[in-house]
């Protein structure tokens, strides 16, 4: 009995259960929607989404490759939320990070690790704004983040258009609507594969980026759980006034945590675009990768280690989603992600429900 009581009080277990429940509800909702739209193909579509990621080593390599930027954006959102900030600006920071990495790679001809540092710095600079506006002018960080997503996107497009050396057309290709392919511009800037491509059946996707991301997740966990700085950040998030009373400089912590969160998203942008398989396309729309950091972080309940797994999951169903075509649009996965976010919005309620279910069951078992 005593052991079971501690089961219900185990925060980690409840978090995991809550996430699993929201995933199951999300998948069910998606399946029902597909059933309504096209009953004959719904089964095929759903199984494509759920099995493609493991269907071949190449696809699995893609899952790992895409999980790296997702993981970093998730870490970014999660890190900011520890200080009580909602970083909806991960997308802008990610875009700036990707731009800085590519400037390092193409215009400055730097090796990949220098480019990643540039990405980190670029994203961090973009993270200053929401933090500073909140701390100094008391402007809601959600508003600042959204504005700076757009400012970042337009600014990057403007800069690309005015830096001809960055465009593919300067490196032997004909199109000027995207950044230069790294294979033509600077092979040294491509993140090494370290022999992983052979392990993954010559997958063009896989490289060491996922391991870099996991390493970063562990570092973030260490900062948050094992350092005074991390403790102060969490104290600020739990109660800003109380932490100020305890002598913590809350405003400084808000700015610093947003810089770090921005740096994480920026690094994610660097990891994604330095793989050599993707070119930055100049489009007037916000990149969705940063936004997908939100469900990753919510599923993991902002836990850095949990983020590793939730980003793998989101990446997995996204890779599966593109295999649902032509029966269904690949956006089907976004619907499932949306349901997961929606459920996370009232996570407290779900958790209360789980606790009640667990304790209720215990009571019955105790009687028997």
Partner 1 sequence: MNLLANIISLTIVFAVPLMLVALGGMYSEHSGVINLALEGIMVIGALCACFTLQAMDKNGFGPVHPQLSMLLAILVAGLSGMVFSLLLAFAAINLKADQTIGGTALNTFAPAFAVVVTWAVQGQGLTTIQIPSWIRITQATFGLEAGNGFFDSLIFKYFYLTTPIAVVLFFAAWILMYKTRFGLRLRACGEHPQAADSVGINVYKMRYSGVLISGFLGGIGGLAYTIAVGSGFSSSVGGYGFLALAVMIFGNWKPLQILGSSVFFALFKVIAAYNSSIPFLPKLEGLKDKSSLYQMLPYVVTMIVLIFTSKNSQAPKAEGIPYDKGSR
Asked if residue 326 has a cis previous peptide bond (ω within 30° of 0), the answer is: yes
Residue 147: CB minimum distance to partner 1, A: 5
Residue 92: CB minimum distance to partner 1, A: 11
Check binding of 213 to partner 1 (CB under 8 A): no
Name every residue whose Cβ is closer than 8 Å to that of residue 223 and which is 6 or more positions away in sequence: 229, 230
* Alpha-carbon gap, residue 105 to 270, rounded angstroms: 10
CB 140 within 8 A of CB 225: no
* Alpha-carbon gap, residue 353 to 332, rounded angstroms: 28
Cβ neighbour number for residue 323 with a 10 Å cutoff? 18
Question: What residues does 178 pair with on adjacent strands?
Answer: 281
CB 209 within 8 A of CB 275: yes
Of 49, 52, 67, 65, give the one whose Cα is nearest residue 328.
49
Closer residue to partner 1 in complex, CB, 61/306: 306
Q: Which two tokens stand for residue 122?
A: 């670029």
Question: What residues does 264 pair with on adjacent strands?
Answer: none
Binding piece for partner 1, criterion CB under 8 A, among 253-261, 264-272, 331-339, 353-361: 331-339
CB 285 within 8 A of CB 95: no
Check binding of 161 to partner 1 (CB under 8 A): yes
CB 297 within 8 A of CB 49: no
Instruction: Candidates 342, 351, 355, 359: give the one binding partner 1 (CB under 8 A).
Output: 342
Check binding of 241 to partner 1 (CB under 8 A): no
| Binders of partner 1 in range 32-61 (CB under 8 A) | 33, 37-38
Q: Binding residues for partner 1, how many (CB under 8 A)?
A: 52
Check binding of 251 to partner 1 (CB under 8 A): no
Instruction: Candidates 325, 353, 356, 363: give the one binding partner 1 (CB under 8 A).
Output: 325
Residue 138: CB minimum distance to partner 1, A: 6
* Alpha-carbon gap, residue 205 to 57, rounded angstroms: 10
Binding piece for partner 1, criterion CB under 8 A, among 51-59, 99-107, 228-236, 283-291: 283-291
Closer residue to partner 1 in complex, CB, 160/205: 160
CB 97 within 8 A of CB 261: no
| Binders of partner 1 in range 101-130 (CB under 8 A) | 129
Binding piece for partner 1, criterion CB under 8 A, among 10-18, 137-145, 188-196, 251-259: 137-145
Residue 356: CB minimum distance to partner 1, A: 16
Check binding of 329 to partner 1 (CB under 8 A): yes
Check binding of 162 to partner 1 (CB under 8 A): yes
Residues of this chain that bind partner 1 (CB under 8 A): 33, 37-38, 86, 88, 129, 133, 137-139, 142-144, 146-151, 154-155, 157-158, 161-162, 284-286, 291, 294-295, 298, 325-329, 331-335, 337-339, 341-342, 344-346, 348-349
């Amino acid at each position: 009995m005593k052991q079971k009581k501690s089961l219900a009080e185990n925060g980690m277990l409840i978090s995991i259960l809550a996430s699993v429940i929201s995933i199951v509800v999300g998948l069910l909702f998606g399946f029902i929607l597909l059933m309504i739209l096209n009953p004959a193909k719904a089964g095929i579509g759903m199984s494509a989404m759920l099995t493609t990621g493991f269907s071949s080593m190449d696809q699995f390599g893609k899952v790992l490759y895409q999980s790296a930027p997702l993981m970093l954006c998730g870490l970014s959102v999660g890190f900011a939320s520890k200080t009580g900030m909602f970083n909806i600006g991960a997308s802008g920071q990610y875009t700036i990070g990707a731009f800085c990495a590519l400037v390092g790679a193409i215009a400055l001809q730097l090796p990949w690790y220098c480019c990643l540092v540039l990405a980190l710095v670029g994203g961090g600079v973009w993270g200053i704004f929401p933090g500073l506006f909140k701390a100094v002018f008391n402007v809601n960080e959600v508003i600042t983040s959204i504005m700076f997503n757009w400012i970042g996107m337009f600014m990057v497009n403007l800069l690309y258009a005015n830096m001809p050396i960055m465009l593919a057309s300067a490196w032997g290709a004909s199109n000027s609507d995207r950044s230069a392919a790294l294979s033509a511009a600077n092979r040294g800037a491509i993140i090494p594969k370290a022999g992983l491509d052979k392990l993954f059946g010559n997958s063009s996707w896989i490289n060491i980026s996922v391991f870099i991301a996991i390493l970063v997740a562990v570092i973030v966990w260490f900062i948050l759980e094992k350092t005074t700085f991390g403790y102060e950040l969490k104290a600020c998030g739990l109660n800003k006034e109380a932490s100020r009373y305890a002598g913590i400089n809350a405003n400084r912590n808000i700015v610093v945590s947003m810089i770090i969160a921005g740096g994480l998203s920026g690094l994610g942008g660097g990891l994604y675009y330095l793989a050599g398989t993707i070119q930055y396309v100049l489009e007037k729309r916000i990149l969705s990768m940063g936004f997908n950091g939100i469900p990753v972080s919510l599923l993991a309940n902002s836990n850095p280690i949990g983020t590793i797994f939730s980003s793998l999951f989101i990446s997995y169903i996204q890779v599966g989603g593109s295999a649902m075509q032509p029966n269904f649009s690949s956006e089907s996965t976004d619907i499932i992600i949306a349901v997961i976010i929606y459920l996370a919005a009232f996570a407290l309620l779900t958790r209360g429900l789980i606790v009640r279910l667990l304790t209720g069951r215990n009571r019955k078992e105790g009687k028997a």
